[in-house]
Structure 1
């Protein structure tokens, strides 16, 4: 891990329900917990006037309370808290959402604990937006699992 995290130049997300200049809005739901595991859902909504092409996985970084990027490995796939539908392409119509689950284990072993206060999220080809979250208590794992964009959550 680096001695000091680097700063990220992401643009803060507009207030919930407000579009960015690309006609997209991002929001994070509450953190759910189970047996030392945590997860929250990020919702991407097309609030523009035309369809948006979205595919694969969100581009993600984790920020601490000072807005500095943490050294966190982003994994794509299943986790204890979520099933990954795998990457697909969507033509996201105006008003429609896509979802991605961000999950982690708050295990603490050796090393420094990491705590995030926000994530930067972007669809491919778009500028990242900073999205505040309740908390991301990564413990010492330094790992966040992210599912592909999807129209719903898999059971």
Structure 2
């Protein structure tokens, strides 16, 4: 029977036990201690960093991350949004404006107000007559009078047409239109006025002539005047008892009845 303690396997086992005992009995060198401590520190830091990363991920995922502030720095204030005013104005209620009309004077109830823009006077709504004749230094004059015989106002502006007729009805002269003559007329340098005639109102134009002919020829007296109101075509024949026979003139229409003015 063989001895188990003399086998090669037994010898190897004894050698390993001897090395282990020697290692335990031999103190560890300072370098080995520092190396082992450094490895533990590295492993601990690696573990701590992994833990921090995991915690940070959980915080971000949970929506609970909050910024940190220093004690002496106040947190930023986010201004509230300002709503711009509406471009549509708010309607306002106003009381209606009431204008009190003054009472009508006694006796004017239903009276027709004056015409704002009177039309022109025509032969149809005028009564045409001759005024009193005048004479001085060989000159003769008479006023042609226009009276508004209508029911509304009308206006006259400018010169009437005037022709002198002989006893046989023939036309002897056409009146020259001049602003002013020897015996009167409109103001010097003035433009012919516009005369508004209310019902019953009167205006006139002065007609002048001479009692002789400038060339010394025979004088055929004017017996009638053919008068046409300004801006009209219908004429009126008026008898003129005068010895006038030359230099027939007519002046513009003026308010009232004109005559000799010096």
TM-score range normalised by the length of the shorter chain: 0.7 to 0.9
Alignment length, in residue pairs? 133
Which entry has the higher C-alpha Rg, 1 or 2? 2
Distance 1:103 1:131 in 2: 15
Quote the offset at 1:136 in angstroms. Answer: 4.7
Quote the offset at 1:73 in angstroms. Answer: 4.5
Aligned residue runs from structure 1 range 5-84, under 5 A:
22-84=124-186
1:93 counterpart residue number: 198
Q: Deviations over 1:30-80 (max 9, x none)?
A: 321111111111110001111222110111111112222113452322111
Q: Could you state the TM-score of these two structures normalised by the residue count of structure 1?
A: 0.75
Distance 1:95 1:129 in 2: 19
Q: Does 1 or 2 have the higher relative contact order (CA < 8 Å, sep 6+)?
A: 1
The answer on whether the counterparts of 2:212 and 2:219 sit within 8 Å (CA) in structure 1 is no
User: Are residues 90 and 30 of structure 1, via their aligned partners in 2, closer, same or farther at CA, if it must alter by over 3 Å?
Assistant: closer
Distance 1:77 1:107 in 2: 22
User: Are residues 91 and 42 of structure 1, via their aligned partners in 2, closer, same or farther at CA, if it must alter by over 3 Å?
Assistant: same
The answer on whether the counterparts of 2:162 and 2:174 sit within 8 Å (CA) in structure 1 is no
RMSD: 2.1
Distance 2:123 2:145 in 1: 17
Structure 2 residue runs of 5 or longer lacking an equivalent are 1-121
2:251 counterpart residue number: 147
2:239 counterpart residue number: 132
User: Are residues 128 and 100 of structure 1, via their aligned partners in 2, closer, same or farther at CA, if it must alter by over 3 Å?
Assistant: same
1:120 counterpart residue number: 226
Query: Quick check: which one's strand share is greater?
Result: 1
Distance 1:100 1:71 in 2: 17
Quote the offset at 1:113 in angstroms. Answer: 1.6
